[in-house]
Each structure stands twice: as C-alpha cells, then as structure tokens.
C-alpha cells in the first residue's frame, strides 16, 4: 500500500514503509456494549502501525480507511450520548413538572 505518502516521523522518507500487525489490545468494551460490529468499527478507526524500511522506526499514522471509520465511530458515539441525554432528561423534566404542578 504505497499509494499514500506517509512520511516517517524519524527520517522523513515517504513510501519506504510497510504495515505491521498491531501490538495493541483487542477492544473488549465495544464488544460488551455493542457487539462484534461495533468492536470492528472501533478497531478499524484506530491508527494502523507501520515500520520504516530505511531507519526501522515503528510509527502510527491514519490512513483513508481509518479516518473514515473514525468519523463513523464519532458519529455513533455522538448519537449514543444524545440518546442517553434524552432518555435521562425527558423523565427528569416530567418529574420536576409534576412536582411543581405545571
């Protein structure tokens, strides 16, 4: 995948790298709360790991696909926060209105 010119943060060369398997943990929380699909979206939204072939530096950098999944993940989190806020605030508003006799 050398169609993206990712510069090495150490030596600055582009197109002299290859993708290596990630050494990070598997996402357990998204699996517990949203299932396998949500965990896959979360995992794909993280920066992949690369190794520079010139200097051997290991670095993380976003790709087009990881940015797309990051946008999708942020969209999902935004709607979940909005949904939780509505589910908490609407009953609270009704309770206060009943308490004040409105």
* Number of separate helices (H) and strands (E) present in the chain: 2, 3
The pLDDT tens digits of the residues spanning 21-74 come to 776 666 677 777 777 788 888 888 888 888 888 888 888 888 888 889 989 889
Percent of the chain with pLDDT over 90: 6
pLDDT of residue 78: 93
Q: How confident is the model at residue 4 (pLDDT cuts 50, 70, 90)?
A: low
Q: Phi/psi zone of residue 4: left (φ > 0), alpha (ψ -120 to 50 degrees), beta?
A: beta
Nearest to 68 by CA among 46, 100, 52, 98: 46
Q: How far apart are CA 16 and CA 51, in angstroms?
A: 9
* Residue 1, pLDDT above cutoff 50: no
> CA 7 to CA 102: how far, in whole Å?
62
Is the pTM higher than 0.85? The answer reads: no
């Amino acid at each position: 995948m050398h169609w993206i010119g990712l510069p090495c943060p150490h030596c600055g060369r582009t197109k002299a790298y290859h993708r290596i398997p990630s050494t990070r943990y598997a996402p357990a929380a998204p699996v517990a709360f949203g299932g396998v699909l949500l965990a896959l979206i979360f995992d794909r939204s993280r920066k992949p790991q690369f190794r520079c072939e010139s200097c051997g530096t290991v670095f993380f950098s976003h790709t087009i696909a990881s940015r797309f999944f990051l946008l999708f993940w942020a969209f999902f989190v935004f709607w979940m926060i909005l949904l939780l806020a509505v589910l908490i605030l609407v009953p609270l508003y009704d309770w206060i209105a009943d308490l004040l006799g409105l």
